[in-house]
Structure 1
Amino acid sequence: MEFAVNVPTSVGSSEYSTLPFADAISWADQRSFGLEIEGLGYDGLAVPDHLMTGGGAGTMECTTTLAALAAETSDVYLYPKTINNPLRHGPFLAKVAATIDEISEGRLKLGMGAGWKDDEATAYGYEWPPASERLRELEETIEILKGLWTNHEFSYEGDYYTVDNAVCKPHPVQNPHPPIMLGGGGEEFTLRITAKHADVWNYWGSLDLMDRKLSVLADHCDTYGTDYDAIEKSWFARCIVRETEEEVAALLDEVPMFKEENLDESEHHLVGTPEQIVADIERYADIGIGEVVVEFVDFPGTEGASLFADEVVPVFK
């Protein structure tokens, strides 16, 4: 199993924020945290893609953060998770991604999604069409990415994009191209596009929810003749981990939104001692999850990340 860790692009100061222990974000924080995570032996660094999630504390942009991390790190894969497709011109994204893969010497893992946060898009002057249109545009983007990454010249005529003898050189280092992850749980569109085009699928939620989504994905794979087992299944979870149950309880008092009684039935996080978290992850591994992307609630501290690296990760290696 692979483990990637979120390098946040925004934080929050409210006790009900998902990252309540930092009241501002900076490149210095991201760089220090990312290097620490790589030093702890994690497989990847994941970077969220938003424009306005930090409120007054600010939000760092995803692709420039990834390029900077590419230059600073040497081993971890670099994981935009997930690119908000409506905010990027698809053919230009191919150039951005190929450049990051070049800078990192082949360590890009490109996460893609149709977006969900309409207020930041409209605030920045983007149109926000219905989800079905955003997903069809996302599918065209993925087709264009692969075409530009693998051809000397590439042309494309779609409903959303027209590409005329475009050249995207240098191509990505990875052959034939960086793995493409699709994020989201939409059963009619997102999981269909995953079955047809993606190398990885990522979502979050309870075991029952994930199991149901995987069953739908398998059905779409049957429709397209895709090898279901060849698609990596990935799960995202926020994490609170401490050595003892007493320490976990004390931390939960500071972030009560993660207490079991405050979660809805489809929501699930990694909360507990290392032994409890190992048992939790094993349940997801049993349904085929091969990657876990973790966001440590105690960011910018690394106590949770360090304990997880020492006592959880080795169990799955």
Structure 2
Amino acid sequence: MGTVSPFPFRFGVQSRSAGPRGPWLEAVRRVEELGYDTLMWPDHFVRGFEPVAAMAAAAIATERLRLSGFVFDNDFRHPVVLAMSAGSIDILSKGRLEMGIGAGWLKEEYDLAGIPFDPPGVRIARLEEAVHLLKLLLSGERTSFSGEFYTVDGLQIPPAPVQKPYPPLIIGGGSPKILALAAREADIVGITTRALPDGSKDAEDMTAAATARKIDWVREAAGDRFARIELNTICPTVEIADDRRAAAERIAADLPVSAAEVLDSPAVLLGTVDQIVETLQERRERYGFSYIVILEPVMEAFAPVVARLAGR
């Protein structure tokens, strides 16, 4: 079933680098120069800068670029702490924060840090409660809250955000439960790939058919608000190539999917600039994806695509 998106194209870059200050700031400014809309940081202990610190630095170094944790792991930060960070970053950036939050997925990281890795249902229930509390805290009003996981008694967060009622909320995932929560609560819903027990991504969950199922889950749970949800996807595999079929065959050789499925996967972008532009337009028509995220190493090569589509 096609999904006509009312949203223009936006493009984000996910940064995983943690280099020296000078080159890092140059790279941040370069993202803005290339016309990308958002710079995003994942929330991991094992790679990259801590995202709140990175966003604070980037807020001062840029003028237009939106900034996002993509996404904050709810189990790594109490909602009160995250609300304080979000309000501060939104003020420092003059209203450029997008607040991504998720239930966590990389068990290895939890184990390394000694954090209990609860079953998915528990983590998602805790995330849902955290989202409700975050919205209350970011309203700027004095908040009292008593839930299964969190309790707040008459707390008012001092740095209320610039954006009202709160910065745009991103929730992403690949399971029915997390996508139903995202559909009910988020402004931006990210469609992601299921993680395997070893932390790698399940290639069979990246297919067009799997993506269509996930969009259906979001549509069903969102009801009337579906038309107001911006749909987001991350493309970890991007290659500007004259022979997209050969590139797909090379990638498929290491995966349990065919070259045709690789080419059709919304997690993959292969081909010339013209071909990728056409592919993204088709996918917006087919799935509703208008907010596309790529990884920092390909941002220069992908910039001509951004120039063609951003804001359109």
- Decide: shared fold, TM above 0.5: yes
> Is residue 215 from structure 1 mapped to residue 209 from structure 2 by the alignment?
no
Helix, strand or coil: the match of 2:97? coil
> Structure 1 CA distance, aligned partners of 2:103 and 2:76?
9
Under a length normalisation based on structure 1, what TM-score does the superposition of the two structures give? 0.82
Helix, strand or coil: the match of 2:253? helix
Q: Indicate the residue corresponding to 2:272 in structure 1.
A: 273
> Structure 2 CA distance, aligned partners of 1:92 and 1:297?
31
Kindly indicate whether structure 1 or structure 2 has the higher relative contact order, using CA contacts under 8 Å at least 6 residues apart.
Answer: 2
Q: Indicate the residue corresponding to 2:70 in structure 1.
A: 81
Query: CA deviation digits over 1:220-242, x for unaligned, max 9?
Result: 123xxx41111111111025343
Q: Indicate the residue corresponding to 1:107 in structure 2.
A: 96
Under a length normalisation based on structure 2, what TM-score does the superposition of the two structures give? 0.83
> Structure 1 CA distance, aligned partners of 2:81 and 2:170?
18
Q: Indicate the residue corresponding to 1:171 in structure 2.
A: 160
> Is residue 289 from structure 1 mapped to residue 289 from structure 2 by the alignment?
yes
Query: CA deviation digits over 1:76-111, x for unaligned, max 9?
Result: 111111111111111111111111101001010111
Q: Indicate the residue corresponding to 2:195 in structure 1.
A: none
> Is residue 313 from structure 1 mapped to residue 293 from structure 2 by the alignment?
no
**Cα pair 2:67 2:98 within 8 Å, conserved:** yes
Helix, strand or coil: the match of 1:182? strand
> Structure 1 CA distance, aligned partners of 2:93 and 2:296?
24
Unaligned runs of 5+ in 1: 11-23
**Cα pair 1:79 1:111 within 8 Å, conserved:** yes
> Structure 1 CA distance, aligned partners of 2:250 and 2:296?
12
Helix, strand or coil: the match of 1:259? helix
Q: Read off the aligned partner of 1:207 and give its amino acid letter.
A: A
**Cα pair 1:207 1:284 within 8 Å, conserved:** no
**Cα pair 1:155 1:166 within 8 Å, conserved:** yes
Query: CA deviation digits over 1:127-168, x for unaligned, max 9?
Result: 211111111111111111110111421010011100010111
> Structure 1 CA distance, aligned partners of 2:104 and 2:227?
26
**Cα pair 2:13 2:36 within 8 Å, conserved:** no
**Cα pair 1:153 1:166 within 8 Å, conserved:** yes
> Structure 2 CA distance, aligned partners of 1:283 and 1:30?
35
**Cα pair 2:14 2:293 within 8 Å, conserved:** no
Deviation, structure 1 residue 125: 2.4
> Structure 2 CA distance, aligned partners of 1:26 and 1:308?
29
> Structure 2 CA distance, aligned partners of 1:257 and 1:27?
39
Q: Indicate the residue corresponding to 1:184 in structure 2.
A: 173
Pick from 26, 39, 57 the counterpart of residue 45 of structure 1.
39
Distance 1:208 1:285, change over 3 A: same
> Is residue 8 from structure 1 mapped to residue 15 from structure 2 by the alignment?
yes
> Structure 1 CA distance, aligned partners of 2:168 and 2:250?
32
% identity of equivalent residues: 28
Unaligned runs of 5+ in 2: 1-7, 193-205
> Is residue 117 from structure 1 mapped to residue 106 from structure 2 by the alignment?
yes
1:176-255 superposed matches below 5 A = 176-187=165-176, 189-204=177-192, 205-222=206-223, 226-242=224-240, 245=242
Helix, strand or coil: the match of 2:134? helix
Deviation, structure 1 residue 258: 7.0
Q: Indicate the residue corresponding to 1:64 in structure 2.
A: 53
Q: Indicate the residue corresponding to 2:201 in structure 1.
A: none
Deviation, structure 1 residue 296: 4.5
Deviation, structure 1 residue 27: 4.1
Distance 1:257 1:49, change over 3 A: farther
> Is residue 155 from structure 1 mapped to residue 144 from structure 2 by the alignment?
yes
Pick from 138, 147, 165 the counterpart of residue 127 of structure 2.
138
Q: Read off the aligned partner of 2:36 and give its amino acid letter.
A: Y
- The alignment yields a C-alpha RMSD, in angstroms, of 2.4
Distance 1:107 1:50, change over 3 A: same
Distance 1:306 1:288, change over 3 A: closer
Helix, strand or coil: the match of 1:144? helix
> Structure 1 CA distance, aligned partners of 2:185 and 2:128?
8
